[in-house]
Structure 1
């Protein structure tokens, strides 16, 4: 599986290797197989632009997911793209005395769960929150939540 990671922001140093391991483990925990998935770390302006363009809401948000191949009937399955705004995670973490890397880990998990068919609106929200908790606990126990590092590879 190819995990494409693009870092287009300067707010937080992100380890590509850590992100790749987190993504692979998250998909494995759900039993989801695909050939390709993308994670893009973007700045506040970019996440606001995407939020406005695709959801008619110009406000900042934590992550946005775009599923691509839900059924993979072409033989090659591109799960989709997740756009994450680390600055949103930094701000939230500071306000709530949390670790920004764990918050960004949650955003990646949340976005991936959307790509795998979970929803956080209406009656589906409890299922999404339970899956997030399960993934956070598993990744924490496995030492795979994102951590501060001096190396971005």
Structure 2
């Protein structure tokens, strides 16, 4: 089961599109279908989580919390950060948010990006996942 919770107003979120994107990513990564929760939160909420769990009070793009064998985990994504980053790079904020979801799922699977070698491998896997989503013509934008 893919649960989606929208607790922000910075970017319009289509929950069925999020579910399709998450399901496609899990299938592509050959992850047995499990329960996963995706939360879209405000800049303040993500900053609070970042401070509480990582002792860093700054807002961040996404945070993942792996759980157990039956529930893959919880993903917290901040569309405000995606919009700000997209604006600076002239990117699509929906695509940036998609990348944050993919990135978070990879973290749930144990991928890490703290060391340069790991970061390069994770970026390569993210690009591969995003290409797959493009081939499937999946987007977060409501039809």
TM-score by length of 1: 0.90
Please name the residue that 1:126 is paired with: 120
Q: Secondary structure at the match of 1:6?
A: strand
Of the candidates 123, 126, 130, which is equivalent to residue 136 of structure 1?
130
Please name the residue that 1:109 is paired with: 102
CA distance in 1, matches of 2:48, 2:127: 29
CA distance in 1, matches of 2:34, 2:88: 38
Please name the residue that 1:78 is paired with: 71
CA distance in 1, matches of 2:51, 2:7: 19
Q: Which residues of 2 match residues 1-150 of structure 1 at below 5 A?
A: 2-69=1-68, 72=69, 77-122=70-115, 123-147=117-141, 149=142
Aligned residues: 142
CA distance in 2, matches of 1:103, 1:91: 10
CA distance in 1, matches of 2:33, 2:45: 27
What's the RMSD between the two structures over aligned residues? 1.0
Q: Secondary structure at the match of 2:107?
A: helix
CA distance in 2, matches of 1:143, 1:61: 28
Deviations along 1:2-47, one digit per CA (max 9) or x if unpaired, are 0000000011100000000000000101100143000000000000
TM-score by length of 2: 0.96
What stretches of structure 1 move > 3 A for 4+ residues in a row? Answer: none
Q: Which runs of 5+ in 2 are unaligned?
A: none
CA distance in 2, matches of 1:29, 1:35: 14
CA distance in 2, matches of 1:56, 1:125: 22
For residue 145 of structure 1, report the CA deviation from its aligned partner: 2.6
Q: Which runs of 5+ in 1 are unaligned?
A: none
